[in-house]
């Protein structure tokens, strides 16, 4: 029986539709008999279906942040012009996930390993079968969404006209693998995690807290904390604000990660660690990235501590015609949450330029 | 009864002398009835006692790395010219520490909180009473050793002629506090830690492993891992090398931290989090640093992820006449281990220049 977790409801995340694409065979050998993807769409698909944008989600993320921070009338991601589909990644708590599946053969600890390539294949199938979309004006995603964006561009070159990977790499690197492992170990070391068989996500509160605390160190920068930038961030929950950095950690990072499902985070973490477009080209990263035909803007965040520009730029240089559009946020990787108008303005400018390029 | 831990023996760390300075009252209110400091000295004190150098140690560190990497004939820290005393910090496993004290009132979980200021007062007392040293040609230390170096310069301006804080700050910053907390939580979340009352450090292997794994992410940089720099590092234990980054993590970071005492690491971690020279000036950092009369070279490591130059430079600018000498290591903070001849050459050049300045 699925576990109840209100964080993942439409009330918690904003409206979405659960769309089944049926039986789905995973690259690692597992099968999801009834794969349901949680999709939130904005705008209207035009007649020739040429105005579709696909947005895959990041680790622990959902469509909510895209809706709240990135999509809007007059913005680059303009629902008045485009049909924008934010597709929640498999295992993120909204799409088929360990805690929400009604199939006992894949519930909780039995959930099969999922790959970035699985997500992209499932998204392609869904867009084609459900919406009749054969080409995408743009794929854009942040962090693990960037991993999926790169995978889209490599795997479906004829379908992706433009690609904008933000704050992520096409091939995961060892440091990032080790970092993600510390996040996962923080959860699995909690005895209440119990090998994945807990009764409620809140049972694993201690592990989720440690997981969140590591995020607070790597997702947010020394300058974010030093300048007390958090004073400018509105509370997540009314009345639950912060006067000290410890309170911000408690009522922001720990609060939000504490609402999530441990097995969902672990499923995504395993996937994140192994993102690698070179799996499509027998390990040859240059061949994989060299095959991209989408017009690509590579968009790292300058202050990012685990997807730093120095890891993104060498990939950009392997993609024909790709351009670097550096983003800036004092928050580092968590700049993705759009704390600063200057950051969202940079994103909008880059995506507007990219969408204006004829391809 | 003290716990046996061979890591902290002279066989494990190189020769040192345990020197008692008697009853010692701590800033937080605790008392160590018989405070013993583990001191390793190199060279000979000259007649007018003007050639003394004091080196305080870093988190988890001992005199061993200083002996192996930094001190040598013909080097800046030359035992042919100087009398060099490396004084292991309180609680580091060699000096009086939770696991090695014979006083049951402060053993293990009962060990009192120790401050950076306690270490510096104890070191000053030891050098004065035991060696008759009233002035230091140089205080130099890395990381928590830099914290102590700054404390020396602020607290004993008449005694410190020159100061060289490497890869550390005078006032600990929130990000660093949170980072250190993740290290400590990795240990205390291990049920075998048992509130500090374990029978052997190896009981806490799982927590020590997680602690080490977080170090591998923050102590070493993305570039260190990406370039496989670890291939050039000799094994810690003969025959226990590495062919993959996971094996390096296993046989280097996890191996060495796994030998240490959990309570020692926690004692140092608590101290590290609260390092702050402004405690001497009612919270006024500019006043504290402005009072320094030592000729000071501030020496951050450019790639350091938790004591980055952007946190060190503002402090340097508050110290009268202080100069910035940037160090470089692909390893980031763990560049302190001296993996690269270029790094040790930079340190030697800076310290030679500093020691050559007449003060």
The pLDDT tens digits for B267-299 are: 999 999 999 999 999 999 999 999 999 999 999
**Whether pLDDT at A1 is above 90:** no
**Whether pLDDT at B81 is above 90:** yes
Shortest distance between the Cα of B245 and any Cα of chain A, in A, equals 7
Of B173, B181, B308, the CB nearest to A213: B181
Of B173, B185, B216, the CB nearest to A178: B216
Residue partners of B75: CB distance under 8 A and separation at least 6 = B348
CA distance A299 to A324: 6
> Each residue of B113-124: pLDDT tens digit?
999 999 999 999
Chain B contact probe: residue of A171, A205, A217 with most B CBs at under 10 A: A217
Which residues of chain B lie closer than 8 angstroms to A190, CB-CB? 189
Could B178 and A213 be called an inter-chain contact, meaning their C-beta atoms sit closer than 8 Å? yes
Could B226 and A174 be called an inter-chain contact, meaning their C-beta atoms sit closer than 8 Å? yes
B95 assigned to active site: no
Maximum Cα interatomic distance, chain B, rounded to a whole number of Å: 55
CA distance B87 to B39: 5
DSSP of B51-100, one letter per residue? Answer: -EEEEEPPTT--HHHIIIIIB-TTSSB-TTT-EEEEEPPTTSSSSS-TTT
Could A226 and B182 be called an inter-chain contact, meaning their C-beta atoms sit closer than 8 Å? no
Burial class (CB in 10 A: 0-12, 13-18, 19+), B109: middle
Which residues of chain A lie closer than 8 angstroms to B192, CB-CB? none
Strand A83-87 relative to strand A52-56: parallel, antiparallel, unpaired? parallel
Beta bridge partners of A141: A165
Determine contact, residues B272/B173, Cβ cutoff 8 Å: no
**Whether pLDDT at B106 is above 90:** yes
> Each residue of B149-173: pLDDT tens digit?
999 999 999 999 999 999 999 999 9
Q: What is the model's pLDDT at position A166? A: 99
Burial class (CB in 10 A: 0-12, 13-18, 19+), A358: exposed
Long-range interactions of A20-25: CB distance < 8 A, separation 24+: A21/A122, A21/A125, A21/A126, A21/A129, A21/A130, A24/A118, A24/A122
Strand A17-20 relative to strand A36-42: parallel, antiparallel, unpaired? antiparallel
Determine contact, residues A62/A92, Cβ cutoff 8 Å: yes
Could A175 and B206 be called an inter-chain contact, meaning their C-beta atoms sit closer than 8 Å? no
| pLDDT-based confidence at residue A88 (cuts at 50, 70, 90) | very high
CA distance A197 to A40: 30
Q: What's the mean per-residue pLDDT of chain B?
A: 98
Q: How many CB atoms lie within 10 A of CB A240?
A: 12
Shortest distance between the Cα of B57 and any Cα of chain A, in A, equals 24
Q: Which bin fits A49, alpha (ψ -120 to 50), beta or left (φ > 0)?
A: left
Of A174, A210, A223, the CB nearest to B245: A174
Could B210 and A176 be called an inter-chain contact, meaning their C-beta atoms sit closer than 8 Å? no
Q: Which bin fits B4, alpha (ψ -120 to 50), beta or left (φ > 0)?
A: beta
Which residues of chain A lie closer than 8 angstroms to B331, CB-CB? none
Q: What's the mean per-residue pLDDT of chain A?
A: 98
Among residues A6, A63, A14, the alpha carbon closest in space to that of A258 is found at: A6
Among residues B305, B186, B178, the alpha carbon closest in space to that of A184 is found at: B186
Among residues A118, A120, A149, A66, the alpha carbon closest in space to that of A270 is found at: A118
Helix (H, G, I), strand (E, B) or coil at B40: strand
Q: What is the model's pLDDT at position B1? A: 83
Could B217 and A182 be called an inter-chain contact, meaning their C-beta atoms sit closer than 8 Å? yes
CA distance A31 to A258: 29
| pLDDT-based confidence at residue B248 (cuts at 50, 70, 90) | very high
Of B175, B181, B224, the CB nearest to A226: B175
Q: Where are the alpha helices (DSSP H) in A219-277?
A: 222-226, 245-248, 254-258, 262-273
Could B245 and A308 be called an inter-chain contact, meaning their C-beta atoms sit closer than 8 Å? no
CA distance B254 to B147: 25
The half-sphere exposure of B48 on its side-chain side, counting CA atoms within 13 A, is: 2
> Each residue of B36-70: pLDDT tens digit?
999 999 999 999 999 999 999 999 999 999 999 99
Could A173 and B220 be called an inter-chain contact, meaning their C-beta atoms sit closer than 8 Å? no
Taking the CA atoms of A359, A293, A95 and A5 in sequence, report the sign of the dihedral they define.
negative
Q: What is the model's pLDDT at position B172? A: 97
> Each residue of A180-191: pLDDT tens digit?
999 999 999 999
Which residues of chain A lie closer than 8 angstroms to B223, CB-CB? 310
Domains of chain A: residue spans and CATH: 6-172+275-356 (3.40.50.1820), 177-266 (1.10.1740)
CA A30 to chain centroid, in Å, comes to 22
In angstroms, the Cα distances linking B103 to A57, B2, B98 are 56, 9, 9
DSSP B179: H
Chain B contact probe: residue of A182, A250, A276, A308 with most B CBs at under 10 A: A182
Could B226 and A175 be called an inter-chain contact, meaning their C-beta atoms sit closer than 8 Å? yes
Of B178, B213, B225, the CB nearest to A249: B178
What is the count of residue pairs from A and B with beta carbons less than 8 Å apart? Answer: 87
ipTM above 0.85, yes or no: yes
Residue B135 has φ and ψ, to the nearest 5°, of -140, 145
Q: What percent of chain A has pLDDT over 90?
A: 98
Type and span of the H or E element at A19: strand A17-20
Among residues A76, A10, A5, the alpha carbon closest in space to that of A39 is found at: A10
CA distance A165 to A120: 14
| pLDDT-based confidence at residue A115 (cuts at 50, 70, 90) | very high
Taking the CA atoms of B125, B141, B210 and A335 in sequence, report the sign of the dihedral they define.
positive
Chain B contact probe: residue of A169, A174, A215, A249 with most B CBs at under 10 A: A174
Taking the CA atoms of A250, A254, A258 and A262 in sequence, report the sign of the dihedral they define.
negative
Catalytic residue among B63, B99, B211, B333: B333
Determine contact, residues B297/B161, Cβ cutoff 8 Å: no
Nearest chain A residue to B224 by CA distance is A175
**Whether pLDDT at B349 is above 90:** yes
B333 assigned to active site: yes
DSSP B125: H
Cβ-count burial B25-63 (b if 16+ within 10 Å, e if not): ebeeebebeebbbbbbbbbebeeebebbbbbbbbbbbbb
Q: What is the model's pLDDT at position B317? A: 98
Residues for chain A: how many in total?
359
Q: What is the model's pLDDT at position B279? A: 98
> Each residue of B317-333: pLDDT tens digit?
999 999 999 999 999 99
CA distance B164 to B136: 12
CA distance B124 to B126: 5
Q: How many CB atoms lie within 10 A of CB A130?
A: 15
């Amino acid at each position: 029986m699925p576990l109840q977790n209100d964080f993942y409801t439409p009330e918690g995340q904003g409206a979405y539709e659960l769309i089944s694409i049926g039986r789905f065979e995973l690259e690692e050998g597992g099968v999801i008999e009834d794969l349901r993807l949680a999709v939130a769409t904005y705008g209207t698909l035009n007649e020739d279906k040429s105005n579709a944008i696909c947005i895959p989600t990041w680790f622990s993320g959902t469509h909510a942040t895209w809706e709240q921070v990135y999509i809007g009338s007059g913005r680059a991601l303009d629902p008045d012009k485009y049909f924008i589909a934010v597709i929640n990644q498999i295992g993120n708590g909204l799409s088929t996930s360990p805690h929400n599946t009604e199939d006992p053969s894949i519930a909780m600890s039995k959930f099969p390993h999922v790959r970035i390539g699985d997500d992209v294949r499932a998204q392609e199938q869904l867009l084609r079968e459900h919406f009749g979309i054969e080409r995408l004006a743009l794929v854009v995603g942040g962090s693990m969404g960037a991993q999926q964006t790169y995978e889209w561009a490599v795997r479906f070159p004829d379908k992706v006209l433009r690609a904008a990977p933000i704050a992520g790499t096409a091939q995961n690197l060892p440091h990032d693998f080790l970092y993600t492992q510390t996040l996962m170990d923080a959860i699995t070391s909690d005895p209440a995690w119990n090998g994945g068989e807990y009764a409620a996500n809140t049972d694993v509160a201690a592990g989720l807290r440690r997981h969140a605390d590591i995020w607070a160190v790597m997702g947010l920068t020394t300058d974010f904390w030093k300048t007390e930038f958090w004073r400018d961030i509105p509370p997540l929950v009314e009345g639950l604000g912060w006067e000290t950095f410890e309170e911000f950690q408690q009522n922001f990072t720990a609060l939000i990660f504490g609402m999530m499902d441990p097995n969902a985070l672990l499923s995504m973490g395993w996937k994140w660690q192994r993102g690698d477009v070179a799996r499509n080209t027998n390990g040859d990263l240059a061949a994989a990235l060299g095959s991209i035909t989408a017009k690509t803007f590579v968009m790292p965040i300058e202050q990012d501590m685990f997807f730093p520009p120095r890891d993104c730029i060498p990939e950009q240089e392997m993609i024909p015609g790709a351009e670097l559009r550096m983003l800036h946020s004092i928050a580092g990787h968590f700049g993705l949450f759009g704390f600063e108008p200057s950051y969202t303005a940079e994103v909008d400018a880059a995506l507007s330029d990219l969408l204006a390029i004829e391809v």
